[in-house]
Structure 1
Amino acid sequence: MEMLCTLRSTTESQRQALHKTPEALEPFLEDEEDFGDAKGASFLELDIGEAWHGLQYLLTGTAWEGTPPLDFLVRGGEDVGDIPSDEGTARVFDAPSVKALAEALKKISVEDLRKRFDPAKLQAEDIYPGTWDEEEELEEDVDPLEELLSYFVELQKFTAAVAKRGLCLLVHIG
């Protein structure tokens, strides 16, 4: 089973509602309508697919630990509660936490992450998806490092936009 990561902005009221009714997570994630708030702001979403664990490692140097706020892909925030097991995990971060995250990510350069990339270490740490040292025959030439760096740049832009709007953040891995 693939473990994919989606990040989605939420309003404060949506963040609170997800805590009260975790079963609303699936409909919330599947809602692709542009549901604006009273000011007409729409949600923002970023799908980083299987890159979440590689990014976690590049940002923190660990598989499951790290220093907040950079460990946000696997820790931190508040659990959305008892969601159905096949839905994975979901955590929400309030607006001040998102602002701190955006500022922390802004301070990291692509070159910093490039220096931290070591396929053998990622493989040894069992970083998902666990194919870091395999030479696969791919339809397209996909460089794992360049793919992670591309997602990182998108992550920087995404969190900056969410923070600028004063929104909260949902991190869902499932």
Structure 2
Amino acid sequence: MGMVGCFAALPAAQLAQLQSGERSIEDFLYPDDGDGEPEHSIDVDKAWHGLHYLLTGTAWGGDAPLCLAVLGGEEFGPDVGYGPARALTATQVASVAAALAGLPADKLASRYQPADMAKLEIYPDVIWVRDGAEALDYLLENYQQLVEFYRDAAARGDAVIQWLS
């Protein structure tokens, strides 16, 4: 199945409960109510690392606020898939939303460098050169979803949890 990038928006008070351990992060991320995912959540499938690269030009680092969009925030709690979840404050979410709103898809597409992405082992590293424009389309579709997610989370004043599942 592979590593999937997941995001959930939630009120700051609810995030504080999760960070303090008052409420289980596992119960929040994987609710037992039949839904299977938290309210106000998305996944960007395996596009998470490619999106981070397009936003930052790096495999793991980059400048704020764009470096926070996919692989940012403060780690907390136990391993929930591929490491602990990471949290962004409502202030960070608003900064990310504004930065993403100012970065149109065509500008993001101009940053697509398949050979460099493969060299840096941007997950899943085999598709960038092999699939070319098709892989870029995959990234841009997921980028649009990410932009809308952060826009809506910022409008509600929410914090965000990110995790790899």
Q: TM-score range by the shorter chain?
A: 0.7 to 0.9
Q: Secondary structure at the match of 1:51?
A: helix
1:11 aligns with: 11
Query: When the two structures are superposed, what TM-score results if normalisation uses the length of structure 2?
Result: 0.87
Going from structure 1 to structure 2, the CA distance change for 1:152 and 1:122 (only over 3 Å counts) comes to same
Match of 1:120 among 108, 115, 120: 115
Deviation at 1:154, TM superposition (A): 1.0
Alpha-carbon distance change, 122 to 95 in structure 1, aligned in 2, over 3 angstroms: same
Q: Answer yes or no: is 1:158 the counterpart of 2:149.
A: yes
TM-score scaled by structure 1?
0.83
Give the greater-gyration-radius structure (CA): 1
The structure that is helix-richer by fraction is 2
The one-letter amino acid paired with 2:141 is: S
1:46 to 42, 45, 50: 42
SS, match of residue 91 in structure 1: strand
CA distance in 2: counterparts of 1:55 and 1:22, whole angstroms: 33
Unaligned runs of 5+ in 2: none
Q: Structure 2 counterpart of 1:172, which letter?
A: W
Q: Which runs of 4+ in 1 moved over 6 A?
A: none
**Partner amino acid, structure 2, of 1:3:** M
Give the equivalent residue in structure 1 for 2:28: 28
Aligned to 2:160: 169
How far, CA to CA, are the matches of 2:96 and 2:5 in structure 1?
A: 17
Instruction: Let me know the Cα RMSD of the aligned residues.
Output: 2.5
